[in-house]
Amino acid sequence: MNDGLVPLFRPHRVAVIGASRGGGKLGAVMARSLDGYRTGPVLVNSRSDDPTQGVYATIADAAEASADRVDLAVLCVPASVTAASLREVAAAGVRAAVVCAGGFAEAGGAGVGYQQDVVDALADTGVRLLGPNTSGFFVPGTGLTASFVPGVSGIPAGRVAVVAASGGVNHALSFLLADAGVGVSLGVGLGIGIDVTTPDVLDYLRTDDSTGAVALHIETVSDGPALLTAVKALSEAKPVVALVVGRSDIGAFAQSHTGALATSWRTTRNSAVS
C-alpha cells in the first residue's frame, strides 16, 4: 500500500481551514460534510474564532485542543495564501491536505506563481496534497465525506473505487453505481494533481481490503510508464476498468477543467509504452 496516502484517506481527525459554522461558503459546506466522520472536524478561522464553538484561530491551536491527532486539513482558502496555509498545517503535524480552490496555473497570470509556491511548500514539508481544483473525495464505509457536492453522504459503502481526473466524473460515476445498487469504497477526483496522482491512488488501492474493483477515468497522462506499472500491479489483484477521454480522438483538443488538454487515446497508448 502507498502508506503516504493513509493520512489522506484514513485520517484520525480532519481540520477545515477557513471554516465557519453557518452559511453557504465552501468552508461551511465542508464543515457540515465532515460532521459525520468520527468526532467531527476541528475548525479554523482566524477572523471569527470561538473556541467555545470549536472554531480556533490557528491550526496549531486546533491541533492542541483535539484529543485525536489531526492528520488531514481541508483548505478552503484562496490560491494566493494556499502555500502559506500548507506550511502552517505542516508545522502543526498535519500530514495531508485537500485544496479545492482554483486560480493556480490553469488560470495563468499570478496563478502560475501561486502553484509554484505550493509545489515548493510540499517539497519543504512532505505534506501530501490532493488537488488543487478538486471537488474532494469520500469514503462511505467510514463516513468520511471531504466533498462539497450535495448528496454525496447518501452514496452507500461498497467494493468499487472510483479514481477520476475530473471531480465531476468521480461524482457522476459514484452516483450511477449507487443507483445500480453497487456501493463505493473510495471516490476521488484528482483535480490538477500536482502531488497525488493516479498511480499514487492505484498503488494505495492495491492492498486496500475494502476495495474489490476500480473504475478509472483518465484525461491526461503525465507519466505513462508510472501509470502502466500501477495499473498492471493493481490488475493482478483486482479488476480495473478504464475510461479514457478521447477514445475516438474526437476529444483530443477538448480542454479539461484543470487547464490541461485531454489526452487522445493514441497519445495515452504511446505514452504508456514509451
| Structural domain spans, the chain | 3-130, 136-273
Q: Which CATH architecture has domain 3-130?
A: 3-Layer(aba) Sandwich (3.40)
Domain 136-273 CATH superfamily: Succinyl-CoA synthetase domains (3.40.50.261)
Residues of the chain with pLDDT under 70: 1-2, 246-274
Contact 206, 237 (CB under 8 A): yes
In this prediction, residue 272 carries a pLDDT of 46
> Residue 217 forms beta bridges with which residues?
164, 243
According to the model, what pLDDT value does residue 220 have?
80
Q: Which three cell numbers stand for residue 37?
A: 466522520
The pLDDT of residue 1: 54
Determine the pLDDT at residue 246: 59
**pLDDT value at residue 219:** 86
Q: What pLDDT is attached to residue 35?
A: 94
pTM: 0.89
Q: How far apart are CA 85 and CA 100, in angstroms?
A: 13
* Residue 262, pLDDT score: 44
So what's the pLDDT on residue 2?
60
